[in-house]
Amino acid sequence: MHHQGTNHLRIWQKRPGSALTESSDAVVVEEPLEIRISYGEPGSRRTDSLAVTMRTPGHDAELALGFLLTEGLLGSAQDVAEIQEIPATAGNEPHDNRLLVSLQPHVRFDMARVERHFYTSSSCGICGKASIEQVRAVSCYYPQPGLPKVDAAVLNRLPELQRLSQKVFETTGGIHAAALFDDVGQMLLLREDVGRHNALDKLIGAAMLQRWLPLRRHIALVSGRAGFELVQKCAMAGIPILAAVGAPSSLAIELAEESGMTLIGFLRDERFNVYSCPERVE
């Protein structure tokens, strides 16, 4: 599926010493994506609506895979038989905004436990230790203690490498990015989305399709701040180092410590803070 992540719209600009003038501007596209899931043995399969997320169209199958893994609902890409678009049934319905994820018949999927494990939203009403305990209860992978070792100079180079690859951000200035690097600073993947959590889900979903999980020798870099939900997603994929150009939250730091993950904040201008597991940084 290929989508354009930007729209060019008519706007009016005001500049010092001049009146409003008509112009055009590129803006990030934001549309809902409904993820539906089909599961069960032949003859008794069910299809349920799993979630609706606001995202930038593009890499939707990766987004669905990453979402399922980081929510603890899927173990690997091999559990999925097929991902397909659900075509619109009426002329006024949006196109390409619904996905059906069909699980392999042998995969056990309990829809009743889905709501109990959707804890990534800060407004879900679950907080503190309860959130961390739920993450640990369903995590698929964990980072290896003390590994990998990464030179500080390598970390300092990552934001610029990420920025140079952010094509949609370069055009619009209004989109988040998540990038995956190896332990010597080579960029392997980058995904952009209007939501920082969606960008990371797309990144992890792409890594799943490459059969790279667990990502125990890798570094994830996210634009903006490092919230609890981003640490949770990295922990589910086994990522040992999460770096952000912005600040972490207190619960993000607590979860990183509990998960044995190195959490880095304010990575910019050749400086950064390490909030947990500093032994990985040399």
Every domain of the chain and the residues it spans: 31-138, 152-280
The per-residue pLDDT for 127 is 44
The per-residue pLDDT for 59 is 93
Please check the confidence at residue 84 and state whether its pLDDT lies above 70: yes
Mean pLDDT of 138-165: 88
Whose CA is closest to 5, among 209, 249, 194, 234?
194
Q: What is the mean pLDDT of the chain?
A: 84
Q: What is the pLDDT of residues 206-258, one digit of tens each?
A: 999 999 999 999 999 999 899 888 998 999 999 999 999 999 988 889 889 88
Residue type, 197: H
* Cis peptide bond N-terminal to 148, omega within 30: yes
Query: Taking residues 83-87, what's their average pLDDT?
Result: 90
What's the confidence (pLDDT) of residue 109?
87
The predicted model gives 133-146 an average pLDDT of 69
For the chain, percent of residues with pLDDT exceeding 70:
82
Q: Give dist(CA 269, CA 222) in Å, integer.
A: 16
CA end-to-end span of the chain: 41
Q: What pLDDT digit, counting tens, does each position of 91-102 carry?
A: 555 556 899 999
Condensed to tens digits (0 to 9), the pLDDT of residues 24-73 reads: 877 778 788 999 999 999 989 999 988 888 888 899 999 999 999 988 88
CATH 3.10.20.10 fits 31-138, yes or no: yes
DSSP one-letter code for 248: B
Q: What confidence score (pLDDT) does residue 126 get?
A: 40
Token digits of residue 205: 């979903």
Query: Topology of 152-280 in CATH?
Result: Cytidine Deaminase; domain 2 (3.40.140)
- Catalytic residue of the set 124, 127, 140, 277: 124
Residue 90 pLDDT: 57
Give per-residue pLDDT as tens, 1-24: 334 677 787 867 767 888 878 888
List, in sequence order, every beta strand (DSSP E) within the chain: 6-13, 21-28, 31-39, 46-55, 80-85, 98-103, 176-182, 187-193, 218-222, 241-244, 262-268, 271-276
Residue type, 119: Y
- Burial per residue of 120-151, b for 16 or more beta-carbon CB atoms within 10 angstroms, e otherwise: beeeeeeeeeebbebbeeebbebbeeeebebe
Does the annotation count 124 as an active-site position?
yes
